[in-house]
Amino acid sequence: MRRAFLLLLLTFIFVPLAARAAQPVSRCLCAPAPFDSRWRDADAIFSGTILNVEVQQDRVEHANAELPVKVTVAVEEGFKGPKKGMTFYFFSNMNVATCMGMTFQKGASYLFYAYMRRPETKEAWSFYDFPSDTYDVGGTCGGTLPLADKTAVDELALLHDKEPVTKTTSPVVNNELGFLPLKPAAGD
């Protein structure tokens, strides 16, 4: 009887622990920089709706745990860099466990903080070695949020109080729009 009780007790203790240990890590834990830091450091800040999420098959590695994507966005409101009506694209990945990616869905609207990859550095927040002078949103720690998120709503209010910045200090200012990855939206 004592042996059966001990076996039953051990089962109730170790089975839940083993099941918990077998679960994959599903979220990274990070805190985006304070708003003023992101305002200063981001190369582009805007709200918009995702038009397309395209897997970059030529960059897929490691059985695809971190899916590399090109995300195309219709800019709805520009605060720094792109303006309303423009199309903006960036390269990222869909792995949230590493903090370097986000789950992007076509048709979803976000407040975007985008950061340019510099030719002289390998950005710590970029899992893939995407080309220099392209953009990413810095993963889950970069500040990009769904527009429905309360923090995004609060930050939109702060952004509306700022003077819009339509030029960038990046080295890629060689067209009338100010950013190479920007193209006028269809119909403009």
- Chunked mean pLDDT (size 10), the chain, 188 residues: 50 43 51 87 95 84 72 94 92 74 90 85 62 80 92 95 67 36 44
Residue 75 covered by a domain: yes
Residue 82 covered by a domain: yes
Residue 172 covered by a domain: yes
pLDDT of residue 127: 61
> Looking at the DSSP assignment, which residues form a beta bridge with residue 74?
49, 87
pLDDT of residue 58: 75
Residue 9 covered by a domain: no
* 128-181 per-position pLDDT tens digit: 667 777 888 877 788 999 999 999 999 999 999 988 776 544 433 333 333 444
Domain that holds residue 104: 35-184
pLDDT of residue 150: 96
Q: What is the CATH number of the domain that holds 173?
A: 2.40.50
Residue 39 covered by a domain: yes
pTM, whole model, 2 decimals?
A: 0.71
pLDDT of residue 132: 74
Number of domains present in the structure of the chain = 1
Query: What is the 3 state secondary structure string of the chain?
Result: CHHHHHHHHHHHHHHHHHHHHHCCCCCCCCCCCCHHHHHHHCCEEEEEEEEEEEECHHHCCHHHCCCEEEEEEEEEEEEECCCCCEEEEEEEECCCCCCCCCCCCCCCEEEEEEEECCCCCCCCCCCCCCCCCCEECCHHHCCCEECCCHHHHHHHHHHHCCCCECCCCCCCCCCCCCCCCCEECCCC
pLDDT of residue 119: 73
pLDDT of residue 28: 63
The count of C-alpha atoms lying within 13 angstroms of the C-alpha of 175, restricted to the half-sphere facing its C-beta, is 9
pLDDT of residue 14: 44
Residue 20 covered by a domain: no
Note whether 179 and 81 are within 8 A (CB): yes
Residue 101 covered by a domain: yes
pLDDT of residue 117: 82
